[in-house]
Amino acid sequence: MLNISIKAEPIFELFGFPITNAFLTSLVVLLILFVGSRYYDQQIKSRKKSQLFYFIHLLLTESYTLFKGILRENTDVLFPLVGAFFFFILLQNWFGLLPGVGSLLVRGQHNTELIPFFRGASADLNTTLALGLVSVVAMQYYGVRFLGWSGYLKKYFNFSNPINFFLGILEIISEISRVLSFSFRLFGNVFAGEVLLLVIAFLIPILVSFPFFMMEIFVGFVQALVFSMLTAVFLSMAVAKHHG
């Protein structure tokens, strides 16, 4: 029967800190990204470059020009953040579609039931909540850095007239709701995709899953793009000078 759990299950504990299967997956993705970036860094200095280097280089330059359209003159400062978001989320979403993720089972820490060893990391609300929090905190950080404390605080506490004061309160609420919408959008899309794939596989076991896998690959890409694009748009709004 279908076994769907909405939260990630802890596999073992490390110093009282539960290690969940989603956390393991994001560790693997982090390792892949780390090795990839070390490789790129080492290749860019060597005289003879491999084909893989040019592939990574193409991806980086393409995404750089894409974000340059939004971030404009601040691209060099802000691209590391949004680019990292894009590639991390993209790899996470696609890693969740690999065979073995969700189907390799191990005994849980209390030896009670079988739980999957890997779980798509974006299909865990904790991961996406962390990503959303990083994104929103970065908006505040760059807001202070580009506008200074006075310019930053004036956006939220404006006493020039009652309407502006009320707008400042709304601005605070919208910042908080951004965390929720960021995290729920990513979590919902990826988790819904996993449930959809599972249900389809139970309805018709052969061949029919294939177009849905294609769609999930596309959804994974679009969600990574949307997350990083929205972060870029909000960041460029946060660092823009206000007129009037």
Partner 1 sequence: MDAAAMKNLAAGLAIGIGALGPGIGIGLIGAKAAEALGRNPEAESAVRTTTILALAFAEAIAIYALVVALVLKFT
Distance CA 18, CA 12 (A): 6
Shortest distance in whole angstroms from residue 221 CB to partner 1: 10
Q: Which two tokens stand for residue 220?
A: 């994974």
**Integer angstrom CA distances of residue 127 from 124, 206, 221, 244:** 6, 32, 17, 39
Identity of the residue, 83 or 147, whose beta carbon is nearer to partner 1 in the bound complex:
83
Rounded distance between C-alpha atoms, residue 129 and residue 176, angstroms: 12
- The smaller minimum CB distance to partner 1, of residues 4 and 170, is found at 4
Closest to partner 1 by CB, 70 vs 239, is 70
Nearer to partner 1, 3 or 164 (CB): 3
Positions in the binding site for partner 1 (CB under 8 A): 4-6, 181, 184-185, 187-189, 191-192, 195, 222-223, 225-226, 229-230
Closest to 108 measured CA to CA, from 35, 3, 199: 3
Where are the strands (E) in 15-99, listed by range? 17-20
Q: How far apart are CA 97 and CA 216, in angstroms?
A: 8
Nearer to partner 1, 60 or 225 (CB): 225
Q: Note whether 37 and 80 are within 8 A (CB).
A: no
**Backbone φ and ψ of 139, nearest 5°:** -60, -45
Q: Cβ of residue 201: shortest distance to partner 1, in angstroms? A: 17
